[in-house]
Structure 1
Amino acid sequence: MQVDDMWYVITDGPMKIQTISTATTSTDDTPKMKEKSRYEWTSEDMRKANLDNVAKDILYKTLDKNMFSKIKSCSPVKEIWEKLTQLCEGNDQTEENKLMVATQKFNNIKMCSIETMTEFDERFSIIVIELSTLGTTCSNREVVIKVMRVLPKEWDIKTMAMRKSKDLNKLELHDLFADLKA
């Protein structure tokens, strides 16, 4: 429960310690809430009220001096989290630029003649993972065909045989590279 509470504090801000107000109800017959005075707090209320400080402490301990200097003026942990998200992920324009660059890498990739299949596998997989992280997923068929098209000419016979003998819709990328490496 504490992890859920802490994530709530990070994403929604400090918890408000409230109790049901006996004086009034809302128009839809749900009880109105009022802030609990500190002398009414239970130990669980105190723990929840302190979660903002606990979460801040955890974040502070994970940051280097450079990153800490960029967020030290932020007060609630929600504000710190939003600033860190902006610094690390950027805004919508930054994400759009990252996607454009990753798409260009995917479209322009070619296997170099001096590159081993293992090296190409790693380089290609990094681009596919990057695209996926940015929200663009490619079908198995699209990825497999892309690999087959960007291999050097000496791989043409092998890729033609694979196209005829395998179902490219079901062929996974790791299986393709395993076959090519063999």
Structure 2
Amino acid sequence: MVLSGEMDKEGGTVSKPPLLTGPENYDYWKARMMVFLKSIDSRTWKAVVHGWEIPYVVDKDGKTTNVVKSIKDYSKEEDELALGNSKALNAIFNGVDINMFRLVKRSLVAKDAWEILRKAHEGPSKVKLSKLQMLSTNFENLCMKEEETVHDFHMNVLEFANNFDALGENISEEKLASKILRSLPKRFDMKVTAIEEAQDLASIQVDELIGSLQTYELSINQRKDKKNKSLAFTSNARDEQETGDQESDESLSEAMVLLGKQFNKLMKRMDKRTRPNVPSIRFDTNKQPNNLRRPRSDEKPNQPRGVLCHECEGHGHIRAECPTFLKGQKKSLAVTWSDDDDSEEEGESESAKLVYALTVTMKSAKL
């Protein structure tokens, strides 16, 4: 349950005035204090604006003397004015901290206390004029930042407006609206052009302008979020594709390595089978081969025994007619044809396997 006397964030309550702690919160204190004084009654605020004079005794001729009138002798009107001054002075005394209270402790009139506080924070006319010039320069240089929202920028503009009010300079709605439109970043260019063409800046209200800009800002943020989600989805898909490509490259490399090993085995096997048969020559340390043996000059030739066969070393026939040679040739021919047939069949089988492996590898590379 919220009570009427619950304190707000600035230190005041509904029944207690706001607290002035120094120059940093004077602008807000002044505006809130004015409303608080008016909420008491009209006589209280009139005592601050017009002041209150202590009643003096009037002689028989109607002239005011230097004698202060006693409270019991106050007229009804004088009593109401005195009551209004007392209420205003009480609110001011309770609306300042101990340091500020030292400035107004001796005051008996609410208007005097109010002016003391105003001059202490606003300064005399020259200081006030200097503050206004500095404030005007900062206000003209004010621009909305890229990362700043419309709401935050609106609060900054109102901060300047309140500072102008505290120095007695009021800024019109037209000037505030024009300043806001001129200070927006480039992303609002289309909206600013549409507002300037559709509406008259002299009649536009700042609240309506801010609402329209916030709606446009919301649509920009929604489009930006959709774009970011789309970019994130594309990036994820690209990463997955790159991962798949890397895996495909790795599998292709492994397949090519295995295929190379199989190809090398096949070439070695075919090389062995297609190598020509070279007759081996066996050497004996004690005697030379028959086909290389020659008679020495001092050796007497034996009596002719007929033709010598170099195959079986028999006499009476040549090597081409030797049964041993013919039998060996027949077996060699049979074995050669058999080996050729087998090698051709195995070569065809190995070639088919090699072609199939190449086909599978190329298909996997395309995928």
Whole-Å separation in 2 of the counterparts to 1:54 and 1:169: 42
On the 8 A contact 1:11/1:81 being kept in 2, the answer is no
Whole-Å separation in 2 of the counterparts to 1:91 and 1:56: 23
Q: Of the two structures, which has the highest relative contact order with CA contacts closer than 8 Å and spacing of 6 or more?
A: 1
Matched ranges for 1:21-36 at <5 A: 21-22=59-60, 24=61, 32-35=62-65
Structure 1: segments with no counterpart, 5+ residues: 25-31
Structure 2: segments with no counterpart, 5+ residues: 1-40, 216-367
- Give 3-state SS (helix, strand or coil) of 2:43's partner: helix
Name the amino acid aligned to 1:138: S
Match of 1:145 among 168, 178, 194: 178
Give the alignment's Cα RMSD to 1 decimal: 3.5
Whole-Å separation in 2 of the counterparts to 1:49 and 1:169: 43
**TM superposition shift of 1:48:** 6.7
**Which digits, 9 at most, give the CA deviation of each residue in 1:49-107, with x for residues without a partner?**
975666555433332111122333x3533543432232233221232122122211220
Residues paired across the two proteins, number = 170
**TM superposition shift of 1:4:** 2.8
Instruction: Quote the sequence identity (%).
Output: 22
**Pair 1:103 & 2:136 matched:** yes
- Give 3-state SS (helix, strand or coil) of 1:112's partner: coil
**Pair 1:76 & 2:108 matched:** yes
On the 8 A contact 1:144/1:176 being kept in 2, the answer is yes
Structure 1 residues 100 and 39: alpha-carbon distance in aligned structure 2, compared to 1, 3 A threshold: closer
Structure 1 residues 49 and 94: alpha-carbon distance in aligned structure 2, compared to 1, 3 A threshold: same
Larger radius of gyration: 2
TM-score scaled by length of structure 2: 0.39
Counting strand residues as a fraction of each chain, which structure ranks higher? Answer: 1
Q: Could you tell me which residue of structure 2 aligns to residue 88 of structure 1?
A: 121
Match of 1:178 among 211, 214, 219: 211
